[in-house]
């Protein structure tokens, strides 16, 4: 851990206590690692699961962080201990969410409650106790691009003004109410508006993070191995599961949607800058993504097939992908956005952050981890006889 650390304005960085809600998840585990390895900060890790941070909580030997991370197993729904933990901390980071597209259709009530109702006490306690809040939202709050409403042959669809998403300018455009896929985005947008209002009316110090497809080891789950057999994780974990099982990758509606992907370690660098530069981060909403890593979902599938063949030393399938409809894959009520390309002006201006890792490199790192972690377990699961 470096000593004599300073912020972007040359001021010494003082140790703080962070209440991290959702610390046991994908993003939380990587952020905890970063904070333990490179900073003097203390973390009150709040979650119902701790598997992904077990190596930090029960380390071998006597690492320097041993007394700087405490795990508190609690569900933030109506738990009276939550306010006490927020009071103990200088900063609260809220990562808790239901954030898998398959759930938006099949569990819209849980999705809305998790992302709006359950987040309300966190905002309330931070505001009432004058505690700083970093709240994780989503790029999905942007919804559909302006360009998607233009005719497909309209040249304006290629104009960045019609599809690049800006925190302070782009409208949030959702589909009709019957398309329950937007339950997540709508709940996330409403909690953003509430946080912003708390800042305007009651002086809450806040930062809102809009992640654009953060990718890396420990993301989501592999169905039937460390998650429910019927579960449908996000696209990268879905494709990883197919590759590990040597099944064709399923392309929803042809895989024509365009997305950008950023490496988790690059993204965590951005979050650490927010934590340690409150004067530059407070009151801002930040896109955190990598516009240079833009591909269609079909292109992502093709690239992942190539990368996995390299890391596993297994030849790709003769038919590596198959097309499925969104209704077949997600059920009734699914809708999608055509593109999600972040504008990086604000985060670059305020924090000087830019992502570094190419799409190929982040996929190689992630799929190497997936193969090393899951390949043998999946072989055993596949080889088990099925009861008649």
**101, 140, 212, 270, 273 from 267: Cα distances, Å:** 21, 17, 9, 5, 10
- Answer left, alpha or beta for residue 213, where phi above 0 means left and psi between -120 and 50 means alpha: left
State both tokens at 81. Answer: 């201990």
**CB atoms closer than 10 angstroms to residue 123:** 20
Return the SS3 of 7: coil
What is the Cα 154 distance to its own chain's centre?
33
Q: How far apart are CA 18 and CA 21, in angstroms?
A: 9
Q: How far apart are CA 286 and CA 197, in angstroms?
A: 17
104, 125, 142, 184: which one is catalytic?
A: 184
Q: How far apart are CA 243 and CA 250, in angstroms?
A: 11
Whether 184 sits among the annotated catalytic residues: the reply is yes
Give the residue from 108, 126, 106, 127 showing the smallest Cα distance to 116: 108
* Strand ranges, E, within the chain: 17-21, 42-47, 69-73, 91-94, 132-136, 164-165, 206-211, 214-215, 249-252, 258-260, 262-263, 284-288, 294-296, 321-324, 341-342
Return the SS3 of 301: helix
**202, 282, 349 from 197: Cα distances, Å:** 8, 14, 24
Q: Looking at the annotation, which residues are catalytic?
A: 184
């Amino acid at each position: 851990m470096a000593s004599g650390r300073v912020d972007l304005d040359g001021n010494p960085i003082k140790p703080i206590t962070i209440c991290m809600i959702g610390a046991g998840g994908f993003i939380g585990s990587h952020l905890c690692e970063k904070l333990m390895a490179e900073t003097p900060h203390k973390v009150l890790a709040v979650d119902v699961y701790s598997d992904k941070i077990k190596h930090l909580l029960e380390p071998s030997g006597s690492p320097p962080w041993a007394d700087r991370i405490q795990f508190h197993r609690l569900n933030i729904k109506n738990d009276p201990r939550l306010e006490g933990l927020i009071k103990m901390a200088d900063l609260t980071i809220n990562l808790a969410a239901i954030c898998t597209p398959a759930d938006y259709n099949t569990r819209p009530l849980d999705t809305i409650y998790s992302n709006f109702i359950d987040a309300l006490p966190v905002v309330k306690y931070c505001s009432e106790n004058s505690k700083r809040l970093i709240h994780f939202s989503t790029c999905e709050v942007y919804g559909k691009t302006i360009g998607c409403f233009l005719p497909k042959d309209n040249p304006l669809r290629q104009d960045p003004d019609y599809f690049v998403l800006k925190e302070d300018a782009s409208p949030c455009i959702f589909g009709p109410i019957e398309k329950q896929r937007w339950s997540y985005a709508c709940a996330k947008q409403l909690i953003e508006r509430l946080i912003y209002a708390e800042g305007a009316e009651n002086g809450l110090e806040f930062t809102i993070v809009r992640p654009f497809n953060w990718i890396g080891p420990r993301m989501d789950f592999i169905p039937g191995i460390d998650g429910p057999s019927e579960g449908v994780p996000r696209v990268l974990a879905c494709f990883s599961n197919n590759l590990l099982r040597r099944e064709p990758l399923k392309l929803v509606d042809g895989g024509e949607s365009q997305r950008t992907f950023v490496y988790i370690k690059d993204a965590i660098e951005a979050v650490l800058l927010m934590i340690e530069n409150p004067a530059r981060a407070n009151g801002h909403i930040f896109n955190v993504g990598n516009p240079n890593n833009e591909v269609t979902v079909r292109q992502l599938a093709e690239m992942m097939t190539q990368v996995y063949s390299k890391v596993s030393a297994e030849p790709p399938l003769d038919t590596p992908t198959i097309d499925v409809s969104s209704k077949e894959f997600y059920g009734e009520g699914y809708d999608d956005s055509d593109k999600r390309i972040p504008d990086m002006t604000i985060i670059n201006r305020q924090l000087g952050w830019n992502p570094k890792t190419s799409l190929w490199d982040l996929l190689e790192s992630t799929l190497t981890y997936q193969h090393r972690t899951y390949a043998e377990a999946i072989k055993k699961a596949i080889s088990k006889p099925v009861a008649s």
